[in-house]
């Protein structure tokens, strides 16, 4: 963890599931609790014993301020930290659908601002976060943002902010697609004779295990699929249904991801 963060302090606005996951990662990574100021109107019980400064006045120029509130709470949260604008504090937003321009209106264009899109597996340290900075951010700012956000998983840098809608559609919303796959796979198992409990256990373990294998194997997902598909076997019979160009996964996921990306653009315009 960057020494400047420990020395100058970190302000976390909003400590729900995502903010709490990040804070837990920072504390486990060695950031002193005494260097953290948390602003949250409804703090979880564990925060009261974590040793952080909870709903206290924060430093005038902390190293970082992270805004981790829901988009609908932004109007209430941002005025509380607007005084941190000006350049001395790096502002990081993990609020979905809120563009950098919104933060520049509040903090000023001279404030280094990083917009980030994490996803819910961050709760178990297996998330992936995409980041993009405004014109004021330096490589040092981006490195600091990556260091902080890597506490909950992988971090990737985008080339332009417009890519954030696609990131939202693929990885931000993506866990819900996988959870629905587990639901439907379990239901299909019941339809061919398994008990609900056994079918759900098989579906969870199969999707979870396949995900780890896909992430850690040297082969591409396509090659891994080929590896488990015997000619004229059971897997091929299933894949002929799933890979159908008009009724299978390719067309279905194209439509689903496009719908999510389009909605992300709409939400940004509504800001």
Annotated binding site for NADP(+): 68-71
Contact between 64 and 11 under an 8 Å Cβ cutoff? The reply is yes
Which tokens sit at 134? 């405004």
In which region does residue 154 sit, left (phi positive, over 0), alpha (psi from -120 to 50) or beta (all else)?
beta
User: Which residues define the annotated binding site?
Assistant: 55, 68-71
Q: In 3-state terms, what secondary structure has residue 107?
A: helix
User: Which residues define the annotated binding site for NADPH?
Assistant: 55
Alpha-carbon distance 116 to 94, whole Å?
A: 5
Instruction: Fill in the DSSP letter of residue 223.
Output: H
DSSP string, 110-179: TS-EEEEE--GGGGGT-EEEEEEE-TT--HHHHHHHHHHHGGGEEEEE-SSGGGHHHHIIIIISHHHHHH
Q: Which residues, at least 6 apart from 75, have a Cβ–Cβ distance to it below 8 Å? A: none
**Would you tell me how many other CB atoms lie within 10 Å of the CB of residue 185?**
16
Alpha-carbon distance 271 to 259, whole Å?
A: 19
């Amino acid at each position: 963890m960057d020494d400047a963060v420990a020395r100058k302090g970190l302000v976390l606005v909003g400590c729900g599931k995502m903010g709490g996951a990040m804070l837990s990662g920072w504390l486990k990574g060695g950031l002193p609790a005494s260097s953290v100021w948390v602003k949250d109107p409804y703090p979880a019980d564990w925060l009261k014993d974590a040793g952080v400064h909870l709903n206290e006045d924060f430093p005038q120029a902390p190293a970082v301020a992270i805004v981790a509130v829901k988009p609908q709470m932004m109007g209430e949260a941002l005025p509380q930290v607007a005084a941190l604008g000006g350049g001395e504090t790096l502002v990081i937003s993990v609020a979905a659908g809120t563009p950098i321009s919104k933060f520049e209106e509040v903090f000023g264009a001279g404030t280094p601002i990083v917009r980030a899109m994490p996803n819910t597996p961050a709760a178990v340290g297996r998330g992936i976060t995409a980041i993009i900075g405004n014109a004021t951010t330096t490589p040092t700012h981006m490195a600091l943002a990556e260091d902080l956000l890597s506490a909950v998983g992988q971090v990737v840098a985008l080339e332009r902010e417009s890519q954030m809608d696609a990131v939202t559609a693929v990885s931000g919303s993506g866990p819900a697609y996988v959870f629905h796959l587990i639901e439907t796979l379990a239901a299909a198992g019941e339809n061919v004779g398994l008990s609900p409990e056994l079918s759900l256990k098989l579906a969870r373990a199969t999707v979870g295990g396949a995900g780890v294998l896909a992430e850690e194997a040297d082969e591409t997902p396509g090659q891994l699929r080929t590896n488990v598909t015997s000619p004229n076997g059971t897997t091929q019979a299933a894949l002929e249904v799933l890979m159908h160009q008009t009724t299978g996964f390719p067309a279905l996921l194209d439509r689903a991801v496009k719908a999510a990306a389009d909605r992300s653009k709409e939400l940004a315009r509504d800001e």
